[in-house]
Amino acid sequence: MTLRQALRDAADRLAADPLLADTARRDAELLLLHVLAAPRTVLRSDPARLLNSEQVQAYEACIARRLQHEPVQYIVGSQEFYGLAFRVTPAVLIPRPETEHLVEAALERLPHDRPVAIADIGTGSGAIAIALAHHLPLASVYALDLSPAALEVAGSNAAALGVESRMQFVVSDLLDALPSHQWHGFFDAVVSNPPYVPAGEAAQLHPQVSRYEPASALYAEDDGLAIYKRLIPQAYKALKPGGLLAMEIGHGQRDAIAGLLSGWRDVGFVNDLQAIPRVALARR
């Protein structure tokens, strides 16, 4: 079977599923390139190349997993975020393009020419923390998560991307594991992409999200606000005067978050490309 034939067959099979149709061709390409361990250019430069039997079997296994709605990122084990390649496993939420707005907003507001201390609460794969460490070479970043499995993934990403010497990984429920005398007034910035999907809305999500991504990183009680109600007071204590809080928020949560940030300075919001408020910003 040639690359062209394998790709066409796989894309057709994926497109037959209405939930996969929009990304069928792209997914088929990504999975084939994963099996080949080859750059995308091979699909154009050598479409008549023959797959060997092992490659055919491996590709079929990948397509079968995708037909079960398993995310492509978990199948290939990686996802790009803010120009960096991150290892991902089912232990962590897959980094989204929308979250890049949070990183960009933080980088625009943090100094690049002096040391800063940053806490990333609920770090998951480490995408936010590592992207900030990569672009702020004088920063020290504390990556906190309740999941040891998630922190293992984050640590491996930090090592692969060369920032592990400026990062600390802490198993913690928000900031609870840090001694209060250590973190009160310590941080220049607290960033977070916490769980914010209302717990009752799981059925409304795409199966590739609801079936495969960690529920603990997705859902929150109290209309999705439960974590913010704990996080915001902790962040206020943790930040230096004038310190930055940057959080990703969910659709329709802007007004509620604004209310929770009463008493903070310079409260503002950044919209995503769909004009949905996606990032909440405030100063202590």
Average pLDDT estimate for 56-80: 98
Residue 182's alpha-carbon distances to 13, 50, 141, 237, 241, in angstroms, are 55, 60, 14, 11, 16
pLDDT on residue 184: 92
* Pair 109, 281: CB distance under 8 Å: yes
For 157-187, the pLDDT digits (tens) are 999 999 999 999 999 999 999 887 778 999 9
pLDDT on residue 254: 97
Q: What are phi and psi of 163, to 5 degrees?
A: -120, 10
Structure tokens at 109: 């507001």
Count other Cβ atoms within 10 Å, centred on residue 12.
12
> Residues for the chain: how many in total?
284
Average pLDDT estimate for 207-236: 96
pLDDT on residue 189: 99
Distance CA 76, CA 69 (A): 14
pLDDT on residue 44: 87
For 4-57, the pLDDT digits (tens) are 999 999 999 999 999 999 999 999 999 999 999 988 898 888 888 899 999 999
Question: Domain boundaries in the chain?
Answer: 3-68, 78-283
DSSP state of 98: G
| CATH fourth-level superfamily of 3-68 | Ubiquitin-associated (UBA) domain (1.10.8.10)
Beta strand pairing status for 219-220 and 197-198?
Answer: parallel
- Report whether pLDDT(203) > 90: no
SS3 165: helix
Count other Cβ atoms within 10 Å, centred on residue 164.
18
pLDDT on residue 73: 98
Choose which CATH entry (3.40.50.20, 3.90.226.10, 3.40.50.970, 3.40.50.150) describes domain 78-283: 3.40.50.150
Count other Cβ atoms within 10 Å, centred on residue 25.
16
* Pair 157, 187: CB distance under 8 Å: no
Distance CA 272, CA 171 (A): 30
Quote the pTM value. 0.94
Structure tokens at 61: 């296994």
For 76-134, the pLDDT digits (tens) are 999 999 999 999 999 999 999 999 999 999 999 999 999 999 999 999 999 999 999 99
For 266-284, the pLDDT digits (tens) are 999 999 999 999 999 999 9
Average pLDDT estimate for 57-68: 98
